[in-house]
Structure 1
Amino acid sequence: MEKKLNSPGLFSAIALSVGTMMGSGWLFASYYASKAAGGASIFSWIIGAVAVLIMALLLAEIAIKYPVNGLFTRLISISHNQHFGFVTGISNWLLGLIVIPSEAMATTQYIASIYTPLTPHIFHDGALTAIGVLIVGIFMLLYTLINYWGIQFFAKINNSITLLKIIIPIATAVTILIAAFHSGNFTAEKHAFAPFGAGSVFSAIVSCGIFYSFFGFQVAASFTAELKNPKRNVPIALVSSVIIVLVIYLLLQIAFIGALPPHMLDGGWQGLNFESPLAQLSGLLGLNVLAVILYADALVSPSGTGLIYMGASTRMLNEMAKHKQMPKVFAKTNPKIAMSRASLIFTFICSLVLIIFFRNWQLIASLTTTFILISCVALPIAYCKLKANKNEPLPLSYLPCSQLFAFVIYLFLTYLLMISGITNLAIALVLHIAFFVLYIIMHRKNEQKDSLGLMLSASWGIFLYLAFELIAAIILKNTGSSVLFYSLFFIVSALFYVVLVKQKRIS
């Protein structure tokens, strides 16, 4: 009972999701989205938020029925089987590993631009130097130490950080809007609101950190078993956090576009060149105090998100180990803090290794988005399977025709995944196959009962689906878009939906 009384409540649940979404994305995404889609980048945020809001409502139904830690990682394992679930689960864990250094990297990149003589020693030619990597590692060690003492200590710190992460972005947007607003900026290039076409609105969602920024909506569900009254608090936290963050990001996007000095757009949106976009823009507008605050907040916002992802990724690994999807050494939970410290330390080490390969924020955000999309595809598939199970029905329904919404979201995510980039898709496919091979070896070494044939028959659909996405991306790049291409793409995608939903269920 004592533990229940001390469990984090509704505010903490909302803070977990909001705190994750208000990370490095608010410092960079409005800049990259403007470059990619011009004024129409506003629509990119709205479309992304609507999709995420629908997913939040679907996830809330599942969270009430299955209040377990690391839920987003466990979706397919719950609805289908642990072999199929491992593939989507490992994608979720991998993206968490990538997000952690990316948030520390965002902080380091802002730091690098504060004192220009120091900049090339930390960040050079668009990438971190050895010293920059060391600084990123120190920030990640700090995330680990805070998580080491459990969710109560972690939640107290995160609640305070989240308040700052809400107040400062709103104050920034309002201050910039008051200081300068040029309505002509929204149609500055080609006298068009969408100078690069409708396709750029969707590609910006993937390539500019928009979907990356919103993905934190599901983090509250990752802590379900440790929250007070999860049946009430988790659904409210999932939905309200998306709405709160959408309002903030829209304000920031409108403020960034409107406040740019018009002459800076003479060379078009692609001509913009910022390292610390909002802080540098504030300096151009003479808002020097705001610029200082933004540089200070660059130490707080991304670090708060990295802190949460460190905790969420640890719990994902712990839950996968409990269900024999990862080595059993990560399955043991410390009863005092309801968390596996072995999982935490291993997550820190793996994230540290990733810095060697990814040293640029936009590159890492784009790659992470590919893994995010694969993880999100699991939600409508799992939801449809669980919803159709009359023996163990989901207790509530937040959406009318919810299975239709699940199918539409699946098609939307499949489209975004296809345009996420050939390289990103190839890396994702190779990593998923490699980890599944390791999973098979571990599974057989432990002499568990499932045969190789059963493991493959229970999971083959997801690998064909990823291969299809890669092939479609290659065809699109080499032949261009057409009505025929998209018609065939969505027909085949719909067939894969049927295959994935009906994939073998093993209790």
Structure 2
Amino acid sequence: MIQKRSLSPNGLLFTSVSAILGSGWMFSAYYTSQLAGPAAIISWILGGILLIIIAFTFAEISAMLPLTGSSVRVPQYTHGTLVAFIFSWFIWLSYTALVPTEVQGVIQYLTLFFPSLALPNTGQLTHQGYITATFLMLIISSINIYSLRWLIRANNALTIMKIILPIILVISIFMIATLHHHPLYPRSDFSPYGFHGIFAAIASGGIIFAFNGFKQACEMAGEAKNPGTALPYAIIGSITLCLTIYLLLQLAFLTSLQPTNISKGWANIQLSHSNSPFTTILLQDHLQGLLPLLYLGAIIGPLAAALMYMASSSRSLYATSANGCLPNFLHSLNHQGNPAKAILVNFCVGMLMFTPLPGWKAMVTFLTSLMAISYVIGPISLLALRYQIPNQSRLLKLPFPRLWSYTAFFLCNCLAYWSGWDIISKLSLAIIAGIIILFGYRTINATARSIPLNSRCALWLWPYFGGLTLISYLGSFGHGINLLPFGWDILTVLLFSLGIMWLAIHLRLAPEETQCYIDELEHHLPKTEQ
């Protein structure tokens, strides 16, 4: 699998679509409405546009260097070992946490019929819930170990179903709304919390979580036929298609709300089954007959996404091992060409995440800042590579690379900042844990010690993480102290982004070092399967 290019453009597209249409469609309309009210519609549109701008940076890099686990390996070529490991740590953590998050979403919806699986309101799993989660995680891991080709064939069929099922639900809800002359949303202000709420919904309402699936195409670039055309097609196509579906779901959710649902304000939407928001919507609209269809989608959608995220998390671990930062056994493949040992490690770590992160929303809140931070390596690497290997063939070449990269980097930092101080404050713990693992492995492994850390190229990381943490603390999102009022905080993030981007590009590896990596890489790139 990792040694052949066997994925068609449509297979790559469906890989990303399947990941985007995971458990997000079951919950995000509810949480974005809490944060932004009816203006959640604007949040989805802005979120989609922002992520398309960011995604194009990954598309250029992955088309030029079509590697398995590209978002982990490319930073090694631009800034060396330490930067590559720090970002691979964030990326791996986010991918690994995504799998139990999707499983958690399935179990929460099942509590309507099996209430003993999870506690009400919080969604924390009971003993029966943990057993169910273990069973589902084992199935997901086994399919990934067995065969990517089987997985992709099954995923294509599952993805078609995942597209059709929400559309059927949306059409049915709109028909009821038309018959009963429902307004677009209960009488209230369209944007009760202003732009602050709109931006908060993008970061904390599940929009980043939902659209994160676009990166699946990048992670599997090493297995794609004709990556130069397939990657832009898969990345942009998946975001555009899924944005349309999510907008329809958001409109359907708003249309179905009754005045009693928002009697305590949009921030306190009252649903009879908050663990499964669309269950409440169907019951309110007297569409009980569609519950089997809803639950078919609530099971297929998240589990198919979990299959894709397990594939990507194992490739992230595989790539980190290939960079020399983790033990070699994680870099080994089974007879089917799959990183089976990396998959088993991810299964164990994923199971550990159910206890400290009780419930779907808690998991998504944790994931949000990890995702936003992991995105920044895209624009930084794109611009660095333009300086380091300017003559390298680029199948996709973005115009105005400096403007594009600086803009994308600023947007990444906005997404991280909007996730709030509550989340950003915890990032330091993740950074410390990753550094301990890296230096611990280097202490016991002579081969790892022989790989230079390129510490000078990582000097920009410390003012970056420190500055972002300080701005978040002084800002107004996620219980910051509001010393930087809304508006001025965005300007501060802009100026901060300009400075850090300049520093990161200035501290890139020398062109000859990057060229050595590229020359070695070109001898090992996988061949396209005929």
TM range, smaller chain: over 0.9
The one-letter amino acid of 1:235's match is P
> How far 1:451 sits from its partner (Å)?
8.1
* 1:279 and 1:292 in contact (8 A); partners too: no
- Write out aligned runs for 1:80-95 (5 A): 80-95=79-94
Measure the CA separation in 2 of the matches of 1:451 and 1:432: 23
2:148 to 134, 147, 151: 151
Give the match's secondary structure for 2:446.
coil
Give the match's secondary structure for 1:298.
helix
State whether structure 2 residue 386 is matched by structure 1 residue 387: yes
Measure the CA separation in 2 of the matches of 1:377 and 1:495: 14
Measure the CA separation in 2 of the matches of 1:397 and 1:232: 8
State whether structure 2 residue 284 is matched by structure 1 residue 302: no
Measure the CA separation in 2 of the matches of 1:485 and 1:152: 47
**Which residue matches 2:500?**
496
The one-letter amino acid of 2:136's match is F
State whether structure 2 residue 256 is matched by structure 1 residue 259: yes
* 2:31 and 2:205 in contact (8 A); partners too: yes
Measure the CA separation in 1 of the matches of 2:61 and 2:353: 32
Return closer, same or farther for 1:369/1:488 CA change in 2, 3 Å cut-off: closer
Q: Comparing 436-445 with 15-24, which one deviates more in the overlay? A: 436-445
**Which residue matches 2:313?**
313
Cα deviation digits, residues 396-447 of structure 1 (max 9, x gap): 4454323212211211211221231223223222211221232123224323
Measure the CA separation in 2 of the matches of 1:400 and 1:455: 30
State whether structure 2 residue 222 is matched by structure 1 residue 225: yes
Question: TM-score by structure 1 length?
Answer: 0.93
**Which residue matches 1:166?**
163
- Write out aligned runs for 1:2-17 (5 A): 7-17=6-16
Q: Comparing 384-393 with 479-488, which one deviates more in the overlay? A: 479-488
Return closer, same or farther for 1:322/1:203 CA change in 2, 3 Å cut-off: same
> How far 1:461 sits from its partner (Å)?
2.0
> How far 1:132 sits from its partner (Å)?
1.5
- Write out aligned runs for 1:261-410 (5 A): 261-272=258-269, 273=271, 274-334=274-334, 336-393=335-392, 395-410=394-409
1:123 to 119, 122, 129: 119
> How far 1:456 sits from its partner (Å)?
3.2
Moved over 6 A (4+): 449-453
Give the match's secondary structure for 2:376.
helix
Measure the CA separation in 1 of the matches of 2:310 and 2:488: 44
- Write out aligned runs for 1:20-99 (5 A): 20-99=19-98
The one-letter amino acid of 1:351's match is G
> How far 1:265 sits from its partner (Å)?
2.6
Measure the CA separation in 2 of the matches of 1:288 and 1:454: 59
The one-letter amino acid of 1:79's match is T
Q: Comparing 72-81 with 485-494, which one deviates more in the overlay? A: 485-494
The one-letter amino acid of 1:123's match is L
Measure the CA separation in 1 of the matches of 2:392 and 2:428: 33
Cα deviation digits, residues 243-296 of structure 1 (max 9, x gap): 110110011111110122233233321232322111220111011121221122
* 1:186 and 1:257 in contact (8 A); partners too: yes
Give unpaired runs (5+ residues) of structure 1. Answer: none
> How far 1:198 sits from its partner (Å)?
0.6
The one-letter amino acid of 1:279's match is T
> How far 1:107 sits from its partner (Å)?
0.0
1:481 to 485, 500, 519: 485
State whether structure 2 residue 204 is matched by structure 1 residue 207: yes
Give unpaired runs (5+ residues) of structure 2. Answer: 514-530
Return closer, same or farther for 1:419/1:84 CA change in 2, 3 Å cut-off: same
* 1:84 and 1:458 in contact (8 A); partners too: yes
The one-letter amino acid of 1:62's match is I
State whether structure 2 residue 427 is matched by structure 1 residue 425: no
Measure the CA separation in 2 of the matches of 1:371 and 1:499: 22
Return closer, same or farther for 1:493/1:56 CA change in 2, 3 Å cut-off: closer
> How far 1:299 sits from its partner (Å)?
1.2
Measure the CA separation in 2 of the matches of 1:183 and 1:365: 32
> How far 1:464 sits from its partner (Å)?
2.7
* 1:224 and 1:230 in contact (8 A); partners too: yes
Cα deviation digits, residues 1-28 of structure 1 (max 9, x gap): 9x969x2312211110000000000000
* 1:81 and 1:505 in contact (8 A); partners too: yes
**Which residue matches 1:439?**
438
Return closer, same or farther for 1:449/1:173 CA change in 2, 3 Å cut-off: closer
> How far 1:489 sits from its partner (Å)?
3.6
The one-letter amino acid of 1:311's match is A
Q: Comparing 275-284 with 85-94, which one deviates more in the overlay? A: 275-284
Return closer, same or farther for 1:167/1:398 CA change in 2, 3 Å cut-off: farther
* 2:185 and 2:257 in contact (8 A); partners too: no
State whether structure 2 residue 245 is matched by structure 1 residue 241: no
* 1:422 and 1:474 in contact (8 A); partners too: yes
Question: TM-score by structure 2 length?
Answer: 0.89
Measure the CA separation in 2 of the matches of 1:121 and 1:22: 24
* 2:256 and 2:284 in contact (8 A); partners too: no
**Which residue matches 2:102?**
103
Measure the CA separation in 2 of the matches of 1:387 and 1:186: 48
> How far 1:475 sits from its partner (Å)?
1.1
* 2:186 and 2:258 in contact (8 A); partners too: no
**Which residue matches 1:469?**
468
Q: Comparing 229-238 with 389-398, which one deviates more in the overlay? A: 389-398
Measure the CA separation in 2 of the matches of 1:395 and 1:333: 30
* 2:441 and 2:448 in contact (8 A); partners too: no
The one-letter amino acid of 2:94's match is L
Measure the CA separation in 2 of the matches of 1:485 and 1:422: 13
Cα deviation digits, residues 157-196 of structure 1 (max 9, x gap): 211111111101111112111111566454733xx21110
Measure the CA separation in 2 of the matches of 1:440 and 1:504: 22
1:136 to 128, 133, 138: 133
Return closer, same or farther for 1:453/1:92 CA change in 2, 3 Å cut-off: closer
State whether structure 2 residue 169 is matched by structure 1 residue 180: no
Percent of aligned positions with the same letter in both sequences?
25
Measure the CA separation in 2 of the matches of 1:482 and 1:261: 32
Measure the CA separation in 2 of the matches of 1:482 and 1:294: 39
Give the match's secondary structure for 1:155.
helix
> How far 1:207 sits from its partner (Å)?
0.7
> How far 1:486 sits from its partner (Å)?
4.1
Q: Comparing 411-420 with 94-103, which one deviates more in the overlay? A: 411-420
